[in-house]
């Protein structure tokens, strides 16, 4: 056929005389489908479409010609050539025939390739259409309990901590006391996928093709008070069975930095902007796949259960699902007029002239919007043309954190109280502590020989890390110190982890506070501190930093330094470098989101005179020659006027809370400051 694109021709065999293709449609109801029952005698219909049986990529970009036409292959210039039957094929590819009865002589021809077929899943249940193309709701019959008892399915009234846990499988869901609720959730999910044209009934699948399985995942959804507001069922593909290079290529997908989200909150608080929660319904299934993926549906899909389908769009669980949705969402936002940040690709702005009218931070299918209300309505409407977007109103619950706002007082609180209490109940915590770590405790990782035993150490550390990273900088230092022993915890480490939980029991109500203050300019301020040689095993120091924007905390870090400092000044100098890097990122994001604001130098507060001198003056001495040149970028920033380093007394060095265990009185002073519970 020359070098041009090969043409595909189907060679259908005539069905037996009197054969009838029956189409049975059930009432589509609110899905907008027209119910119909038709019976047609089809004497010359193809049994397979090239689009759905074999992907164009798999066939080398072939074009298809389907129907009861002549069966001659087409050569260069449109000339007919002899059919493949008269010559020996170069290779034969078998196809598995799913969901439909086979026809003995059906073949798919691509140039010199003949494909033979065999039957799999021959019997098609009554009520299903063995047709190609996206399924419609009218083609599916549901046999779920939800169809009969939808009106009886009531959400449980218990608190999220007290309700029966989510089932781990479809079988558990059907045996649950909330079976009717889960049935309604499954039917709603599956009908949503059908409406979106997520899959087509597979008719031909190449032998050896990777057909993956799927399962149901169930989840209770609660509001900020712990009240259950929704039972969610997700049809999830078992993406771990996908093969790289065959089913997918790239998988990376970013999410908004937690610091970027807090920056949006701070700006919304400072300028009294709307702070809204936007949500994309059934997000992943809104994007098309770039690879042919075949999947077997699990029980719970009505009469489609057990059938093999080809995915037309992405689905939860697929390796590339998150990436394809992210690319689609960002593309749509850019089409509307948003500009993407180079520092954080999940933060975008909408400008009118020189002013930013709206900002968004993306975390998968959840969008935090800060800006004018009118623009928010426009964005929802514009996105709704291609993605089903909901405006959930003023943000109340975002990424597991509860938001409380007082517009008149100019305050926003972010809390994880509900999550913290669920963790405390999970680990049966009953004792309280006024501090998360005792200042007299030393690191005994070398000397301690008593094993911790069979305790949930890693689970406790994981929960504490999530809490510390989102709303509770007051436990960051001790969580860092305990987490480094996760590989081989000793009894002392387990007791330290328990003390963190004891402290959280008494302070679960504390929140991260943002407060508008007209006397504070929109600039970046960073406190930096170090604890010299605090790690007993290798004497590495600890760096701590607090970054404030417009007087509100947006970043905190507590890290073990990567090299061994040989003096207190050197440790403080290295900590200053770490803190300034964080401040530069936030300052860059601030300039992107508020370009009309005059650029200001970053204020750095340090309590060590030697470290300040090392940054301000190009000193050289035997004690400092070994410091890596990469740490001296502080000098160039100082010379350029990007940063201004000032001395602060040790009592006012609030970054101390991130580097060492403190006595109760001093700890509470620093904690109240960083959480915004006291005046700055």
Concatenated DSSP letters of 538-597:
T---EEEEEEEETTEEEEEEEEE-SS--SSHHHHHHHHHHHHHHHHHHHHHHHHHH-TTS
The verdict on 112 and 81 lying in the same domain is: yes
The verdict on 196 and 100 lying in the same domain is: no
User: Does some domain include residue 218?
Assistant: yes
Number of domains in the chain: 4
32-41, 290-299, 353-362, 571-580: which has the minimum mean pLDDT?
32-41
User: Does some domain include residue 407?
Assistant: no
Instruction: Pick the closest to residue 45 from 22, 67, 18 (CA basis).
Output: 67
For residue range 431-443, list pLDDT tens digits in order. Answer: 999 999 987 654 4
User: Does some domain include residue 130?
Assistant: no
What tokens appear for 240 in the block? 């771990």
The verdict on 600 and 553 lying in the same domain is: yes
Q: What is the CATH number of the domain that holds 620?
A: 3.30.420.10
The verdict on 495 and 528 lying in the same domain is: no
Check residue 598 and give its pLDDT.
77
R_g (Cα) of the chain, nearest Å: 31
What confidence tier does 626 reach under pLDDT thresholds 50, 70, 90? low
363-382 average pLDDT score: 93
Beta carbons of 586 and 300 less than 8 angstroms apart: no
190-194, 413-417, 439-443, 526-530: which has the minimum mean pLDDT?
439-443
The verdict on 175 and 89 lying in the same domain is: no
Domain that holds residue 427: 417-507
User: Does some domain include residue 546?
Assistant: yes
What tokens appear for 15 in the block? 């069905």
Check residue 674 and give its pLDDT.
96
For residue range 144-188, list pLDDT tens digits in order. Answer: 444 444 445 688 878 877 788 889 999 999 999 888 899 999 998
User: Does some domain include residue 649?
Assistant: yes
The verdict on 498 and 569 lying in the same domain is: no
Measure the CA–CA gap between 498 and 461, rounded to whole angstroms: 10
What confidence tier does 88 reach under pLDDT thresholds 50, 70, 90? very low
User: Does some domain include residue 412?
Assistant: no
CB atoms within 10 A of CB 320: 24
Check residue 33 and give its pLDDT.
38
496-505, 531-540, 593-602: which has the minimum mean pLDDT?
531-540
User: Does some domain include residue 404?
Assistant: no
20-29, 86-95, 187-196: which has the minimum mean pLDDT?
20-29
Q: Is 305 exposed, middle or buried (0-12, 13-18, 19+ CB in 10 A)?
A: middle
The verdict on 539 and 466 lying in the same domain is: no
What confidence tier does 240 reach under pLDDT thresholds 50, 70, 90? very high
Whether the predicted pLDDT of 275 surpasses 90: yes
Of 46 and 641, more confident: 641
Q: Which of 86, 119, 152 is the last residue of a domain?
A: 119
Q: Which of 460, 479, 507 is the last residue of a domain?
A: 507
Q: Which of 454, 476, 507 is the last residue of a domain?
A: 507
Check residue 134 and give its pLDDT.
55
The 3 state secondary structure assigned to 329-391 is: HHHHHHHHCEEECCCCCCEEEEEECCEEEEEEEEECCEEEEEECHHHHHHHHHHHHCCCCEEE
199-213, 398-412, 475-489: which has the minimum mean pLDDT?
199-213
* CA distances from residue 483 to 24, 428, 479, 659 in whole angstroms, order as listed: 60, 20, 6, 15
The verdict on 558 and 658 lying in the same domain is: yes
What confidence tier does 630 reach under pLDDT thresholds 50, 70, 90? low
The verdict on 484 and 559 lying in the same domain is: no
357-385 average pLDDT score: 93
User: Does some domain include residue 680?
Assistant: no
The verdict on 77 and 180 lying in the same domain is: no
Query: Which helix (H) or strand (E) is 640 found in, with range?
Result: helix 633-640
Mean pLDDT in the chain?
78
377-402 average pLDDT score: 91
Check residue 150 and give its pLDDT.
46
The verdict on 234 and 151 lying in the same domain is: yes
Cα angle value 171/203/128 (rounded, 5°): 55
pTM above 0.95, yes or no: no
Check residue 515 and give its pLDDT.
95
Most confident of 32-41, 152-161, 447-456, 589-598: 589-598
The verdict on 482 and 335 lying in the same domain is: no
């Amino acid at each position: 056929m020359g070098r041009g694109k090969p043409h595909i021709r189907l060679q259908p065999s005539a069905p037996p005389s009197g054969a009838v293709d029956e189409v049975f449609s059930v009432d589509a109801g609110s899905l907008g489908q027209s119910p119909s029952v038709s019976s047609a005698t089809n004497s010359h219909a193809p049994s397979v479409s090239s689009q759905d049986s074999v992907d164009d990529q798999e066939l080398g970009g072939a074009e298809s010609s389907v129907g009861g036409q002549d069966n001659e292959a087409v050569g260069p210039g449109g000339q007919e050539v002899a059919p493949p039957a008269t010559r020996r094929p170069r290779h034969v590819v078998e196809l598995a025939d799913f969901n439909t009865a086979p026809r003995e002589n059906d073949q798919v021809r691509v140039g010199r390739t003949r494909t033979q077929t065999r039957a799999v899943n021959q019997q098609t249940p009554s009520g299903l259409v063995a047709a190609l193309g996206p399924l419609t709701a009218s083609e599916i019959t549901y046999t779920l309990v939800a169809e009969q008892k939808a009106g009886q399915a009531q959400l449980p009234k218990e608190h999220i901590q007290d309700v029966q846990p989510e089932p781990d499988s479809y079988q558990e869901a059907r045996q649950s006391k909330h079976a009717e609720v889960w049935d309604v959730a499954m039917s709603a999910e599956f009908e949503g996928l059908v409406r979106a044209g997520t899959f087509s009934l597979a008719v031909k699948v190449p032998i050896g093709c990777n057909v993956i399985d799927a399962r149901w995942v169930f989840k209770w959804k609660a509001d900020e008070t712990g009240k259950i507001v929704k039972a969610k069922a997700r049809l999830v593909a078992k993406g771990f069975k996908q093969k790289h290079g065959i089913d997918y290529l790239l998988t990376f997908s970013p999410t908004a930095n937690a610091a970027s989200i807090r920056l949006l909150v701070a700006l919304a608080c400072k300028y009294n902007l709307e702070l809204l929660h936007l949500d994309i319904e059934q997000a992943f299934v809104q994007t098309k796949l770039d690879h042919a993926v075949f999947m077997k549906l699990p029980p719970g899909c009505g009469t489609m259960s057990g059938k093999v389908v080809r995915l037309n769009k992405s689905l939860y669980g697929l390796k590339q699902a998150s990436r394809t949705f992210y690319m689609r969402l960002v593309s749509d936002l850019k089409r509307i007029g948003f500009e993407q940040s180079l520092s954080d690709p999940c933060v975008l702005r909408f400008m009118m002239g020189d002013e930013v009218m709206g900002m968004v931070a993306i975390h998968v299918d959840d969008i935090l919007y800060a800006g004018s209300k009118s623009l928010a309505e426009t964005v929802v409407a514009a996105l709704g043309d291609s993605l089903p977007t909901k405006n959930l109103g003023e943000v109340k619950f975002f990424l597991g954190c509860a938001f409380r706002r007082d517009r008149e007082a100019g305050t926003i609180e972010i809390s994880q109280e509900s999550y913290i209490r669920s963790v405390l109940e999970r680990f049966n915590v009953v004792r309280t502590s006024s501090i998360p770590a005792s200042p007299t405790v030393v690191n005994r990782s070398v000397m301690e020989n008593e094993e911790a035993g069979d305790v949930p150490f890693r689970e406790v550390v994981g929960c504490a890390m999530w809490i510390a990273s989102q709303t509770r900088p007051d436990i960051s230092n001790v969580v860092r110190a305990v987490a480094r022993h996760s590989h081989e915890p000793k009894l002392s480490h387990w007791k330290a982890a328990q003390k963190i939980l004891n402290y959280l029991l008494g302070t679960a109500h504390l929140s991260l506070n943002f407060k508008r203050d007209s006397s504070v300019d929109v600039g970046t301020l960073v406190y930096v501190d170090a604890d010299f040689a605090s790690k007993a095993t290798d004497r590495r120091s600890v760096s701590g930093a607090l970054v404030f924007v417009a007087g509100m905390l947006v970043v905190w870090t507590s890290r073990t330094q990567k090299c061994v400092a040989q003096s207190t000044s050197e440790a403080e100098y290295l900590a200053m470098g770490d803190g300034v890097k964080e401040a530069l990122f936030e300052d860059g994001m601030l300039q992107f989101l508020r370009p009309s604001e005059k650029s200001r130098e970053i204020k750095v507060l340090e309590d060590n005179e030697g470290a300040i001198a090392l940054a301000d003056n190009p000193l050289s001495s035997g004690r400092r020659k070994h410091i890596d040149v990469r740490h001296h970028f502080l000098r160039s920033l100082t010379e350029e006027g990007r940063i201004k380093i000032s001395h602060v007394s040790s009592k006012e060095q609030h970054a101390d809370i991130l580097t060492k265990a403190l006595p109760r009185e001093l700890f509470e002073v620093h904690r109240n400051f960083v959480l915004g519970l006291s005046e700055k």
